[in-house]
Structure 1
Amino acid sequence: MIERIHLRILQQVEKQGSLTAAAGVLHLTQSALSHTMKKLEQQLGTDIWLREGRSLRLTQAGQYLLAVANRVLPLLNLAEEHLGQFAKGERGALRIGMECHPCYQWLLKVVSPYLTAWPDVDVDVKQKFQFGGIGALLGYEIDLLVTPDPLYKPGLKFEPVFDYEQVLVVGKDHALASTAYVKPQQLTREVLISYPVDIERLDIYNQFLLPAGITPRRHKTIETTDIMLQMVANGRGVAALPRWLVEEYAAKMDVVPVRLGARGIAKQIFLGAREADTTIDYVRAFIELARQPSDATGKVCNSSD
């Protein structure tokens, strides 16, 4: 009864704003489009949308069907893509979503040997602003989610693949550079630089500052790691990053890692996937490669290294 064309029409009318524009995108006449949806309404016994002057307003049934379209159509598109790859003897594609800014450098060190080992698999990496995190994984927009903060949902599986320590980054000449560890109170006069992430998801806030009732003098956000560390090296603020990443940059910038608290902040990078996909050979291979022991810079070490 409900066909793919019905779902596509709903999506396009919502996206384009009118029947005429949607008909043009779908290469249909407006009358054909209207007839198709009118016939569906008759079969369902309910209106999909109501006319208000020249505009259309989705009914409750129409809103529900649009939500179905937004879930089902990506699945159908993905199925056709995969089946086409199978028909051509191709392995497939691995779409990775990055929910962790500094993890990008770590990911590069995993992707390189993976591409060599799996030449028939295409790899695409999406930054967070290009997808919706858990929703993208559940909606089949991505196949793997790289995150330090897994959100467990039915049908998803998260596996820890890399341990690291979150540290404070200061300039070489900063007063805290020579201390064994920093206390929350010592950051009350500092400008804290971070990636543009909600405060509740920043470890330095939720695991270090806020439990002590402390806030920095000012909080500044910067999108790129290089600029952030340039600011820190020039005494414009401090930041919190993985120790391995700071030590890698310390070879070319005047920055120093300092432990956050006497015990430090231990973290892990997780790879999340749909549970049903964890048995796919090239997905499983990426997870296993990511779990291999790494050197101090986060570089994956092969047994021959």
Structure 2
Amino acid sequence: MIDRSHLAILREVQRQGSLTAAAESLHLTQSALSHSIKKLERHLGVALWLRDGRQLRLTQAGHHLLNVAQRVLPQLELAEQRLRQYAKGERGTLRIGMECHPCYQWLLKVVAPYLAKWPDVDVDVRQKFQFGGIGALFEYEIDLLVTPDPLFKSGLVFQPVFDYEQVLVVARGHRLADANWIRPEQLSDEVLISYPVSPERLDIYNQFLLPAGVAPKRHKTIETTEIMLQMVASGRGVTALPRWLVLEHAQKLPIVPVRLGKHGIAKHIYLGAREADLNIDYLQAFIELARTDQFP
């Protein structure tokens, strides 16, 4: 019979890379770990590992059971965590995943009043996921996903929380600074700065440049918004960001927003959650607060 310890062993061996390291992590002897898996293999009548020299290689059956472990264990661990919190009179931890680099300023404006209203709830923000944001929801790594690109799948619910316009950001003295709007070909001689995201996921590429068959002179990536805007302000390139974020930074930096195309690029930010979790009071409260907040 498969039990939780078998799943934990498979996951830990995959994480640690060896039986010895996995045994130490699980506070077991290596012989006890090996015996447990061999007993399961005999019961199931199928091998889970094959030895390849000093390395262990998962069989097809082993890979299947590892996938089960990666789905089931996070759910059990989350359930235990919440039950312990309930036992202590605590509410829990709201784990928020971010797929929107420039949305931190917005998130901070929502988190501050939320924490004041829910003093027994902690908030944890995560950005890097093993399988992407949607996978993180399914794998119970996070409880809410902030994203401009929802993927509507069975078991998930996405709710729009605010609208914004994606604009080009240029230095105040830039040749495009006084334009009402720009055409894609006007960026062919520009250095385009963006977050370290693949071009096909960037709005300025997939909704502006690529449909017109245009590419910038050079594409450069920078992780932080502040450094990106400093580079733009010093004439080292241009970038694309939400208008509300540009206007906030324009109070301190010589930068201006310019519309991308005659009609602009309209975007929406969504909060995604597992449908089964929508009855959690503190999660639903965060969604409602985010939707009613007037920022930006």
Change in 2 beyond 3 A, CA 1:234/1:52: closer
CA displacement at 1:157 relative to structure 2:
0.6
SS in 2 for 1:95: strand
Determine the C-alpha separation between the residues in 1 that align with 2:158 and 2:182. 32
8 Å Cα contact 2:129-2:136 kept in structure 1: no
Determine the C-alpha separation between the residues in 2 that align with 1:278 and 1:140. 14
Describe the superposition over 1:174-216 as per-residue Cα deviations: whole angstroms up to 9, x where unpaired: 1111111111111111111111111111111111111111111
SS in 2 for 1:248: helix
Alignment of 1:1-305 (within 5 A): 1-128=1-128, 132-295=132-295, 298=296
Determine the C-alpha separation between the residues in 1 that align with 2:293 and 2:78. 33
SS in 1 for 2:266: strand
Determine the C-alpha separation between the residues in 2 that align with 1:63 and 1:123. 34
Change in 2 beyond 3 A, CA 1:20/1:185: closer
TM-score of the aligned structures, taking structure 1 as reference length = 0.93
How many residues align structurally? 296
| Greater mean deviation of Cα atoms: 213-222 or 13-22 | 13-22
CA displacement at 1:131 relative to structure 2:
7.0
Give the CA RMSD over aligned residues: 1.4
Change in 2 beyond 3 A, CA 1:262/1:54: closer
Determine the C-alpha separation between the residues in 2 that align with 1:129 and 1:23. 26
SS in 2 for 1:141: coil
Describe the superposition over 1:203-244 as per-residue Cα deviations: whole angstroms up to 9, x where unpaired: 111111111111111111111111111111111111110000
Change in 2 beyond 3 A, CA 1:65/1:171: same
Amino acid at match of 1:271: L
8 Å Cα contact 1:166-1:265 kept in structure 2: yes
Amino acid at match of 1:249: H
CA displacement at 1:71 relative to structure 2:
1.2
Determine the C-alpha separation between the residues in 2 that align with 1:225 and 1:41. 52
CA displacement at 1:122 relative to structure 2:
0.3
Taking only the aligned residue pairs, the percentage that are identical comes to 73
Describe the superposition over 1:120-155 as per-residue Cα deviations: whole angstroms up to 9, x where unpaired: 110001123687311111100000000111111110
Determine the C-alpha separation between the residues in 2 that align with 1:197 and 1:269. 17
Determine the C-alpha separation between the residues in 2 that align with 1:96 and 1:3. 30
Change in 2 beyond 3 A, CA 1:41/1:255: same
Determine the C-alpha separation between the residues in 2 that align with 1:17 and 1:292. 48
Determine the C-alpha separation between the residues in 1 that align with 2:25 and 2:198. 38
Amino acid at match of 2:55: S
8 Å Cα contact 1:168-1:257 kept in structure 2: yes
Tell me what 1:303 maps to.
Answer: none
| Greater mean deviation of Cα atoms: 214-223 or 12-21 | 12-21
Change in 2 beyond 3 A, CA 1:293/1:10: closer
SS in 2 for 1:177: coil
Gaps of 5+ in 1: 299-305
Determine the C-alpha separation between the residues in 2 that align with 1:52 and 1:219. 43
Determine the C-alpha separation between the residues in 2 that align with 1:128 and 1:10. 23
Determine the C-alpha separation between the residues in 1 that align with 2:76 and 2:133. 20
Determine the C-alpha separation between the residues in 2 that align with 1:251 and 1:131. 38
Amino acid at match of 1:147: T
Determine the C-alpha separation between the residues in 2 that align with 1:84 and 1:156. 26
Determine the C-alpha separation between the residues in 1 that align with 2:272 and 2:129. 18
8 Å Cα contact 1:165-1:242 kept in structure 2: yes
Amino acid at match of 1:15: R
Determine the C-alpha separation between the residues in 1 that align with 2:13 and 2:293. 51
Determine the C-alpha separation between the residues in 2 that align with 1:90 and 1:19. 37
Determine the C-alpha separation between the residues in 1 that align with 2:287 and 2:159. 8
Amino acid at match of 2:98: M
8 Å Cα contact 1:131-1:141 kept in structure 2: no
